[in-house]
Structure 1
Amino acid sequence: MVLSRFWLAIFISSIAFIVISLFSGNSYSIDYALNGKKDEPLLISEKYLKEVPAFIKDSIEKAPENTIVINTIETNPDTTYVYKNQTVKIFSGVQKSDGLLPTCKSTLVDLILPLIAYLAFFCGLMELLIISGASGKLAKVLSPVFVKVFPSIPKNHPSISYMTLNFAANFLGLDSAATPFGLKAMESLQEINPEKDKASDAQIMFMCLHASGLTLIATSIIGYRAAAGATNPADVMLPCIITSFIGTIAAFLIVGVKQKINFKSASLVAVLMALIAGIIGLLMYVNHLDLIGKNYFTSNLSALILVGIIAFTLIFSFRKEKKFIESNTTVFEAFVTGANNGVKTGVTIFPYVLGMLVAISLFRNSGLFEIISNWIAFVFSNMGVSKEITDALPVALLRPFSSAGSRGFLIDSMNTFGADSLTGRLSSIFQCSAESTFYVIAVYFGSVNIKNTRYALGTMLLVDVICVITAIFVASWFF
């Protein structure tokens, strides 16, 4: 219900703002909101040739293709005059996001189709883990801990192994594997959900822990920083881990209090201490490496573990081939069956993702997001927060809505202020330490047709705020 109202509010307010901007003269056309593409120049006016200043008219008539660009400043969009069909079109600035129709197309072509491919492959592997019995063994080992965190889940339930693989994939920055494992976990949890259109306690806990974004190897962030010329691209790794870890603990405590979980459980404390010890140990190892060693280690660890998971699944399945025979199938046929289920899941979530991304597209192109972010930056600056921090806030504000959009702000902040500036580093931590909340909710809850997400959205947004505040303190402390 909350998500539905929020979605409607974004849609209606964005459309209203676009129409008001047109009739108030702040916008010349609203076609950009429907058909425009990201980073394309925006049409701000159209005049007859005789109506433009004389020096511009002369320049247009002499210029190749009757097109001139003035005020060429690298840090600002150019103003472009294009003479065509007896009128001069004036463009200035660039579009913030794809329009509604290009977003529909890109959602299918650039997002859903690759996601379906990932789902097909990893759901095929999951089917092998299920039939071979590997997922059952993993669930049995981890049940003592998971039944404390998820008291409504029966002991040794298959969802335990799926959630474990999802957390592990997120932990290692394996986004392409994390989503299929997570969707399989939601599907398994839905089987024991007594109210099928309402999120269960276990599903909410899983979603909030997943969305808190605990990441050990921020491979993509390191890559962006390296491309931007950072002196040490991996220097934000420890701040990212600290921020995302605090976010995860906050999510666990907030949801745990709501669900009255026993925090004094010895097994929970032991696992938490083991996790902290493991993180500290790995960080100590990474910190003693030189720059090349760090880059080599961080770029290969995740890939090696993913390859190891695939190899283990196939080898274990081969060794347990009798179980496949007992199930009247083969290893390859089981993989195909699982892959087919992954494709069906991808088709199911497409409308949910489409609806959310189109709303976000209108929200960004309407100008409302910039107004809100500017006001928040203004408030922070009047509270004495440094400009270096407020310049990074657009990444934090957009992250819950769009990973691609916040990534664009991240790259822009590093190009504008420098990858080694506090702004560039803080933007990297913002990008690394949280999830795209609305996208995640649309995908995961949409995959099992849950309409009432209860307090999941509010909790996830609260955790996002905690991660932003933590990131600011951690970045100021480290850099």
Structure 2
Amino acid sequence: MALSRIWSAFIIIAIVVASIKCFFFGHSDIFNWMVIGKSSDPLNPLKLDGIIETCWIAVDLCIKLVGTLALFMGLMSIAEKAGGIRLLSRIIGPFFSKLFPEIPKGHPSMGHMIMNFSANLLGLDNAATPFGIKAMESLQELNPNKEVASNSQIMFLCLHAAGLCLIPVSVIAIRSTQNAQDPTDIFIPCLIVTFVGTMAAMLIVSFRQKINLLQPVIITWVLGISAIIGLLVWYVSKLNAESIKSFSGLLSGGIILLIFLLIVLGALYKKIDVFDAFIDGAKGGFETALKIIPYLVGILVAVSMLRTSGTFDVVMSGIKSLFVFFGADTKFVDALPTALIRPLSGGAARGMMVSTMISSGPDSFASKLSGVFQGASDTTFYVVAVYFGAVGIKNTRYAIGSMLLADLVGVCTAIALSYMFFA
């Protein structure tokens, strides 16, 4: 119900703003470009994709996702049949049994979730999505009401959307292509922001679900993760830019290949028919990709309408005017478009980040802050559409509100850290 209201509000607001611009400010062609506009069209004054083009983009995205889903779901199938998922479940069981009290001990969903979180940690978005969908499907098996999000699904999705990430690989790569003097300077702020956002998501959802976080097991795990992140921050702070790039590539690429190797070796040891197991899992990737197309089209079209109508420009002008009125420093405002659109569209936020780099320079405060915003959380509405859509959840309860509140904590933390690191 919450998603339905938000989606309806996006469309209504976009059309109202476009109507005001058309009838009061003389933008007579705005309706036409909102519907049929292509960002590549030199005659398009908006330089943004309209509704029709966005529908094609959504379907194209799902088609490209088929291969990734097939690969990682196939590997997941091998791991399940070889007992690897059960092993992961036993390892993390003491912690997850407190954070997800409704999940039975040793349930495969625990292993699926840890695979998803591990992919997120390494900045491997393409791997995280298949693992996350598999986790949602496992949790759906335990869900007594198949159309209403369970407590466990909400906790998992909010922790996933917070996007705890050790290595913002894509942001570093983009900053490198824009010839930033030090493309890796957003590494530590991104790491801290995602950690704070994840802790905020856990606190928010635990409060709603009345989970006691002061249990020894939870405290021990949180302190352990905090210590690891602290050591990583200390180690990275001693490296130069080139060494950080080399380290991030080695860690992210090396670990995913190590996972592949361990899964295959484990299956061979257990005398599993590896290729048949892979094919069985890969078939589900194709079916899942088809299932999420309607949800993705709906979300991306609504976001497209908000962008092409100029709603974001109105919001940005209002925010900047507000801070000017109170006499506050406004140099962070130029990076806010990335933060505002990040919950709605990862691709659009990436475009906003690149646009900020081009207009302000890759080494400007706004460019660095926009990079932190881009690397600091996942795309909330995309995650909701894809993950809940994959299992047919219609009532998301308080999931979206919790995610957006955690996003707000992350944005505020990013701004504060950027003044410390980049000002």
Q: 5 Å matches for 1:3-402?
A: 3-24=3-24, 26-29=26-29, 30-38=31-39, 40-42=41-43, 93-95=45-47, 97-109=48-60, 111-321=61-271, 324=272, 330-402=273-345
Deviation at 1:125, TM superposition (A): 0.5
1:2 maps to what in 2?
Answer: 2
Deviation at 1:220, TM superposition (A): 0.8
| Contact 2:46/2:308, CA 8 A, preserved across alignment | no
| Contact 1:173/1:215, CA 8 A, preserved across alignment | yes
Deviation at 1:106, TM superposition (A): 1.4
2:369 maps to what in 1?
Answer: 426
Which letter does structure 2 place at the counterpart of 1:107? Answer: A
Greater Rg, structure 1 or structure 2? 1
Q: 5 Å matches for 1:425-444?
A: 425-444=368-387
Residue by residue, what CA displacement relative to the aligned partner does 1:2-36 show, whole Å, maximum 9, x if unpaired? 11011011112323433454444622322211111
Deviation at 1:478, TM superposition (A): 1.5
Deviation at 1:216, TM superposition (A): 0.5
Which letter does structure 1 place at the counterpart of 2:236? Answer: V
| Contact 2:189/2:414, CA 8 A, preserved across alignment | yes
| Contact 1:107/1:354, CA 8 A, preserved across alignment | yes
Structure with higher helix content: 2
2:210 is paired with a residue whose SS is coil
Deviation at 1:149, TM superposition (A): 0.6
**Residues in 2 aligned to 1:384 and 1:251: alpha-carbon distance in whole angstroms:** 32
| Contact 1:349/1:446, CA 8 A, preserved across alignment | yes
Structure with higher strand content: 1
1:445 maps to what in 2?
Answer: 388
**Residues in 2 aligned to 1:14 and 1:125: alpha-carbon distance in whole angstroms:** 42
Residue by residue, what CA displacement relative to the aligned partner does 1:296-316 show, whole Å, maximum 9, x if unpaired? 111221011111111111111
Identify which range, 400-409 or 223-232, moves more after superposition: 223-232
Change (3 A) 1:420 1:21: closer
| Contact 1:39/1:94, CA 8 A, preserved across alignment | no
**Residues in 1 aligned to 2:140 and 2:301: alpha-carbon distance in whole angstroms:** 27
**Residues in 2 aligned to 1:166 and 1:341: alpha-carbon distance in whole angstroms:** 17
Which letter does structure 2 place at the counterpart of 1:375? Answer: G
Deviation at 1:422, TM superposition (A): 1.3
Deviation at 1:436, TM superposition (A): 1.0
**Residues in 2 aligned to 1:332 and 1:308: alpha-carbon distance in whole angstroms:** 18
2:360 maps to what in 1?
Answer: 417
**Residues in 2 aligned to 1:299 and 1:380: alpha-carbon distance in whole angstroms:** 40
2:179 is paired with a residue whose SS is coil
| Contact 1:381/1:390, CA 8 A, preserved across alignment | no
Identify which range, 25-34 or 230-239, moves more after superposition: 25-34
Residue by residue, what CA displacement relative to the aligned partner does 1:63-95 show, whole Å, maximum 9, x if unpaired? xxxxxxxxxxxxxxxxxxxxxxxxxxxxxx442
Deviation at 1:264, TM superposition (A): 1.6
Residue by residue, what CA displacement relative to the aligned partner does 1:97-142 show, whole Å, maximum 9, x if unpaired? 2111111111112x11111111111000010011111101110111
| Contact 2:362/2:368, CA 8 A, preserved across alignment | yes
2:331 is paired with a residue whose SS is helix
Change (3 A) 1:134 1:175: same
Deviation at 1:286, TM superposition (A): 2.2
Unaligned 5+ runs, structure 1:
44-92, 325-329
TM-score (norm 1): 0.85
| Contact 2:33/2:46, CA 8 A, preserved across alignment | no
**Residues in 1 aligned to 2:329 and 2:19: alpha-carbon distance in whole angstroms:** 36
1:384 is paired with a residue whose SS is coil
| Contact 2:204/2:402, CA 8 A, preserved across alignment | yes
Deviation at 1:414, TM superposition (A): 1.4
2:80 is paired with a residue whose SS is helix
| Contact 1:217/1:302, CA 8 A, preserved across alignment | yes
Deviation at 1:226, TM superposition (A): 1.4
Unaligned 5+ runs, structure 2:
none
| Contact 1:120/1:342, CA 8 A, preserved across alignment | yes
**Residues in 2 aligned to 1:198 and 1:167: alpha-carbon distance in whole angstroms:** 23
1:460 maps to what in 2?
Answer: 403
Which letter does structure 2 place at the counterpart of 1:198? Answer: V
**Residues in 2 aligned to 1:235 and 1:24: alpha-carbon distance in whole angstroms:** 45
| Contact 1:377/1:393, CA 8 A, preserved across alignment | no
**Residues in 1 aligned to 2:416 and 2:17: alpha-carbon distance in whole angstroms:** 35
